[in-house]
Structure 1
Amino acid sequence: MTTINLEKPALKALRNQYGETLVALGAENPNIVVLDADLACSTQTQKFADQYPERFFNQGISEQDLINTAAGLSTTGKIPFCSTFAIFAAGKGWDQIRNTVCYSGLNVKICPTHSGLSLGEDGASHQSIEDIALMRVIPGMTVIVPSDAVETDRVIRWAAEYYGPVYVRLVRPNCPVIHDEATYQLDAAMPHRIRVEREGTDISLVATGETVYHALLAAERLQADHGIQAEVLNCVFIKPFDTETLVNSARKTGKVITVESHQILGGLAGVVCEELSTHQPTAVRRLGTQDRFGQSGTGEALFKEYGIDWESIYNEALRWLKG
């Protein structure tokens, strides 16, 4: 259960934590190597490059080479982490990810940053709101979307230990820290278990990534204003997916709202509806980009425009429960 003060949380960028964790892993394991597509300062892999220049490879603006070189390194026993912006990794590198990495089951970690609407002013051409769908459809790919810096550290460390293709979706801006650094751990027996960040009985708010904070804040306000007990589920792993925890929550509340900075087609909403339709038919309302491209604007303004900020979640839940 989350116990962090949601009104005044500490802030830290997931990409900064990613860079710091890579440096720590580099000291622990000499087989860790890092590759980037000429964006090391933005993705924060520059931190690793500064510490271990002999284990860092700038592939230039060539995402296909980035993925294929990482694949080749993995066949020699190296554990490659490769980064660029999500729109380029999932889009330009998709063929190589599918046919070279996943088809061969290679031990490559793809960890792009600058995903989703919070990328902001860079606009539609750079806002990757399709990458979860593109990655989860590939056989053998693990898809992870951490919600804060603490969770980012843990999933990157897990990815380094796990053998196989992994996609970790990171964002650009500072994000609220919602987990306790001292106590947070992934479930050892089932790392992909959904985290129940807040228990409730009236409605299930199922979120992933940076929208988890907004779901938690909405749940807190729903209780304070109306006595509504919203359960908040944090889907760290999109694939493999923890159907059991989702079904238990849906069975208890009977109403589910999904929230994601991504298209509702093929993303979190897709997997939630797929699993519930099979195991626990439940009414679902989906918050995310509704078959629209992004646009230029601040991350805060875009979250409001596309209905995934805490106020939109709050209002959607209230309309459903009171209407």
Structure 2
Amino acid sequence: MSDQDTTTLPEGTTDTDAQDQSDIFNGTGQAGLRNARSSDGNDVRAIPAFVFGEELADLADVDPRVVVLTADLARANRAVDFAERHPDRFFNVGIAEKNMITVAAGLASCGYVPFAATFASFAALLGCEQIRTDCAYPQMPVRVVGHHSGISMGFYGTSHHSPEDLGIMRTIADLTVVCATDAQHLRALLRASLDHPAAMYLRLGRGRDRDVYDEVPELTIGKAITVRPGKDLTIIATGSEVEPSLRAAESLAAEGHDVSVLDMFTISPLDTEAVLSAAARTGAVLTVEEANVTNGLGTAVAECLFQSGLGQPVRFRKLGIPDAYVPVGPPAALYAHYGLDAAGITKTAKEMLR
């Protein structure tokens, strides 16, 4: 390497030090994020992507089956917190996402419960064949973790957006598809996943999501959680959209509208009983997802309503990302652009209530 090719680093630092993002991406037990507030003005707090490694390390303390794999993103998804405590059960495969999923399937066939994590755009799009053929088809208990999902990568652009992942993943037979709502909800999902018998796609948010749950909730994979009861309209939301849906419901309550909010964290298999009960009770259903409206949560709910023979009319609308490529921009601006913030959800709900 010539002198011109050499990068000058501060005295006493190495390449590894220069790549250390711990001051930006950190776990709940460490100092706060570099900025006091996120790009949308939210107070910084523990959020899904940042408790992933910490919670799995706690689980691995008592369960020798837990192993973690990542494709060179240990700091972005905080798998580094797991690696520091269980280095012999942590595998960084480098920038080889497809291979990572196949390796995870191999580990699962030997009795381990592997969590293979990378950006959702890479996990679901690059690794689709491996998820189907190596994990779901032979029913291997692999947990493919797609973090920074939807449009949360913002400035990284179309190649890193993953609005299509829910639509793709829910078409794979014998694959459970779940979305983490916030940090406490993620802890519950990780715990519940340990003895889940088949393959799973676990979708995480962008790391700036406000809390919905004050403590780790009791949950059953495949069963929705009613986070707010109501009788005028039901908002069925998933992942990052549960919290703004709650804020929208609170805003509507101030105007005299009684709106229910369901956390439909399991996309496949869908909790059809909860969908039909909500539709019968309120007569109006709005689905909200940080995903392409083609074949995602909204489509799953629509299929359920259409096929059920409910016997009564139901007003129905899907709110999500249209079937088009998402532009580059800060996530908060993109959410507002697509009406996926509290104000946008409120506006759509009002239209339905009228």
Unaligned runs of 5+ in 1: 1-6
1:297 aligns with 2:326: no
Report the equivalent of 1:4. none
- Aligned match for 1:128, one of 162, 171, 193: 162
Larger gyration radius, structure 1 or structure 2: 2
* Structure 2 counterparts to residues 1-323 of structure 1, below 5 A: 11-181=45-215, 184-187=217-220, 191-224=221-254, 226-279=255-308, 280=310, 282-322=314-354
Percent pairwise identity: 37
1:263 deviation in Å?
0.4
TM-score, with normalisation over the residues of structure 1? 0.93
State how far apart, in whole Å, the 1-side matches of 2:337 and 2:306 are: 29
Alpha-carbon RMSD: 1.5
Which deviations, in whole Å up to 9, do the C-alpha atoms of 1:51-73 show, x marking residues without a partner?
11111111111111101101111
CA distance in 1, matches of 2:300, 2:184: 25
Post-superposition shift, 1:236?
0.9
For 2:219, the aligned partner's letter is L
**In 1: Cα distance, 2:102 partner to 2:353 partner:** 50
Higher relative contact order, structure no. (Cα contacts within 8 Å, ≥ 6 residues apart) = 1
SS at match of 1:154: helix
Amino acid at match of 2:124: A
Q: Is the 8 A contact 2:42 2:208 kept in 1?
A: no
1:130-160 deviation line (CA, Å, top 9, x unaligned): 1111111111000000211111000011111
1:162-221 Cα offsets, whole Å, 9 max, x none, are 121011100222211111216x2114xxx3211111111111111000100011000000
Whether the 8 Å CA contact 2:140–2:199 is kept in 1: the answer is yes
Q: 2: CA distance between counterparts of 1:300 and 1:33? A: 34
1:282: how far off?
2.3
Report the 3-state secondary structure (helix = DSSP H, G, I; strand = E; otherwise coil) of the residue aligned with 1:144.
Answer: strand
Q: Which runs of 5+ in 2 are unaligned?
A: 1-40
C-alpha displacement at 1:253, in angstroms?
1.2
Change (3 A) 1:222 1:9: farther
